[in-house]
Each structure stands twice: as C-alpha cells, then as structure tokens.
C-alpha cells in the first residue's frame, strides 16, 4: 500500500505544480496577418537584327548580293490567346533605294533569301513592299520562345539604266503576333 500512497503523492505534487505554473511559461500566439501576391508577366515580342548596314556593289545591269546576311533573332512571351508569330521585312516607300536625285531602285528589284533558300522578290501590299521571313504557329509549350533566322539580300539593276551614284534605303523588320 505504501507504493500506492507514494504514487498518489507524486501525482498530487505534479497537479499542484501545473496549477501554480506561471502563465508566462505557456505558449502565447500573435495575430496572423496575411500578404497577398500579385505578379504580372506581360506580353513581349522583340526582334534584333545584325549587321545594321548591308553594302552592295551594284552592277550596271545585273544582280548584286549584299555584303553579309542579316542575322535576325525573334523572341516572344505571349498570351494563350495568340495563335502565330510572323516576321516580315518591308519597305515603306515606293522606292527601296534612291540616290536623292530622282533615280530609284524599286522594291520589286530587291529580293531576299531566307535561311539559305531561293531568292524571292518583295511583293507590294498597299503602300508597303513585303517579304515574309517566317510564319510560325504557337500553342501551349511555345508561348515563350525564340528563333534565329538569316536574310540575305540581292538587288537586280537589270533594265533600270541607273547613273553612277550612291543609293541608300531602309529595310524595316517587324514581328507580329496574331
């Protein structure tokens, strides 16, 4: 019986210690503020092209290839509603190159070779003369991507009867997401 008596005594002492334990020893929790997240990944579509100048040594009558192909990188991060990315090169004036004295090389006399393919002349759409570099369908898995292309240029002066001079022009390169 003495063991039973000791067990009750120990249990009583433990109960007393629990009863007199200061509240500061117990866990105390603060309030729980929350933080909301808002992160935006906006659409982007960029094109880089190099070199910035292509030189030609024009023939009196015949074709001349540009000094270097244009290396083009197109990169995009697009929304899921987009279905394709297109890259075009175009002239915005009726003449691709001019000497400034009324002697012009029309866009129809300029052609481009995309990624080493056959040379294709620029075609006229309204006020623009356009060459499609690529059209790529996009879907899940390709909304964020990029691609590299090359564009070699050729000018054919056959039948133009141009005088000696320096001819300059600007080729625009632009990507469109549809």
User: Does residue 30 lie within any of the structural domains?
Assistant: no
Please report the pLDDT score of residue 50 as a whole number: 98
Q: Is 106 a member of any domain?
A: yes
Answer yes or no: is pLDDT of 135 > 80: yes
Quick check: 168 pLDDT over 90? yes
pLDDT digits (tens, 9 = 90+) for 19-55: 655 555 678 999 999 999 999 999 999 999 999 999 9
Q: pLDDT value at position 1?
A: 55
Domain annotation covers residue 90:
yes
Residue 65 domain-assigned?
Answer: yes
Please tell me the predicted confidence (pLDDT) of residue 149.
Answer: 98
Does residue 24 fall inside a structural domain?
no
Cα dihedral 54→57→63→68 (10° resolution): -30
Residue with tokens 């023939």: 59
pLDDT value for 133:
98
CATH of the domain at 118: 2.60.40
Quote the mean pLDDT of the chain: 92
pLDDT reported for residue 18:
61
d(CA 74, CA 79): 16
Q: Assess if residue 56 is contained within a domain.
A: yes
Q: What is the pLDDT of residue 3?
A: 72
Q: How many domains are there within the chain?
A: 1
- The structure tokens 């039948």 sit at 159
Q: Which two tokens stand for residue 15?
A: 């109960």
Q: Could you list the residue range(s) of the whole structural domain that residue 123 is in? A: 44-177
Respond yes or no on whether the N-terminal peptide bond of residue 51 is cis (omega within 30° of 0).
yes
Q: Which pLDDT value is given to residue 125?
A: 85
- pLDDT for 26: 79
In a domain, 19, yes or no: no
How far apart CA 168 and CA 53 sit, in angstroms, is 10
- pLDDT tens digits along 106-122: 999 999 999 999 999 99
Decide if 39 is inside a domain.
no
Question: Residue 14: what pLDDT?
Answer: 65
Mean pLDDT of 74-100: 96
């Amino acid at each position: 019986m003495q063991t039973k008596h000791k067990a009750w005594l120990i249990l009583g002492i433990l109960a007393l210690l629990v009863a007199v334990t200061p509240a500061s020893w117990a866990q105390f929790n603060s309030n729980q503020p929350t933080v909301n997240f808002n992160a935006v990944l906006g659409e982007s579509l960029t094109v880089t092209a190099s070199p910035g100048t292509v030189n030609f040594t024009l023939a009196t009558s015949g074709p001349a290839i540009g000094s270097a192909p244009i290396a083009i990188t197109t990169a995009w991060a697009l929304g899921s509603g987009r279905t394709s990315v297109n890259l075009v090169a175009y002239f915005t004036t009726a003449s691709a190159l001019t000497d400034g004295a009324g002697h012009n090389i029309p866009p129809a006399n300029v052609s481009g070779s995309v990624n080493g393919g056959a040379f294709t002349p620029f075609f006229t759409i309204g006020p623009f003369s356009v060459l499609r570099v690529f059209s790529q369908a996009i879907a899940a898995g390709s909304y964020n991507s990029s691609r590299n292309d090359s564009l070699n240029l050729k000018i054919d002066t056959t039948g133009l009867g141009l005088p000696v001079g320096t001819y300059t022009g600007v080729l625009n390169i632009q990507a469109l997401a549809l």
